[in-house]
Amino acid sequence: MKPFNRSKLPSSPAMLLDLGKLRAQFTGLNPRDPSIWPILPRMALLLLLSFLVLLGLWFSLLQGYQDTLAAEQNQEAKLREEFQEKLARAVNLEALKKQREQVRLTVNQLEKQLPSKAEMDALLSDINQAGLGRSLQFDLFRPGQVLVKEYYAELPISVRVSGRYHDIGAFVADVAKLSRIVTLNNLNIQPLPQREGVLAMEATAKTFRYLDADEVTAQRLAAAAAANAKAAKK
């Protein structure tokens, strides 16, 4: 390594004088009145203020860009989830179509088990004949008020029959085997004291029928009117 040569340092009196003048301009400055400062301190102050202003603008713009970037990243994540979901549906499209067809066939089969309004009398007769065929005595067979739902109507029937235990069981099985849907609810079986070996069964038989086109339209209009009335009250 070459030795440090002190002879190469600036030792010119003119240069030392210039450095002294520059240093003197930054000495004894009045911070309350920069307007009276020498030119170099004023230029340095102007550059510093410009740098600080640019730095503040940079950070403010950068913060805005960061917010925009975060929003776009969230949107990207959401779009990715939607894409994955739609991709899974597209992959399983054929299976979903087959499933929908199976559901449609099941619904059609169930609808066929629901009688129309014109077939209700025949269904009531079938229930009555099922009891008579098992040698049961009908003490009560009274259809109730029809309950209209959104797509079907429900008819409750109060039934009270009397007969032997096995005959009542066979009657319940025959009702379950009817081609139309009939359910027995609120079963109550008790022995008849005055008749040995004879039981009395009380139940509510419920059968269902589908609504015709006019009934469906009327039901939908009634539901819409009720919804509008409810919304008006609010």
How high is the pLDDT of residue 4? 47
How high is the pLDDT of residue 171? 93
The burial of 127, by beta-carbon neighbours within 10 Å (0-12 exposed, 13-18 middle, 19 or more buried), is given as buried
Greater model confidence, 111 or 229: 229
Highest mean pLDDT among 7-11, 69-73, 105-109, 133-137: 133-137
How high is the pLDDT of residue 182? 87
Residue among 204, 84, 198, 190 nearest 142 (CA): 204
Q: Is the pLDDT of residue 163 over 90?
A: yes
CB 192, CB 168: distance < 8 Å: no
pLDDT (tens digit per residue) in 55-95: 777 777 777 777 777 888 888 888 888 888 888 778 777 88
pLDDT (tens digit per residue) in 171-193: 999 998 888 888 899 999 999 88
Q: Is the pLDDT of residue 162 over 80?
A: yes
Angle 161-167-171 from CA coordinates, rounded to 5°: 70
How high is the pLDDT of residue 161? 93
How high is the pLDDT of residue 15? 55
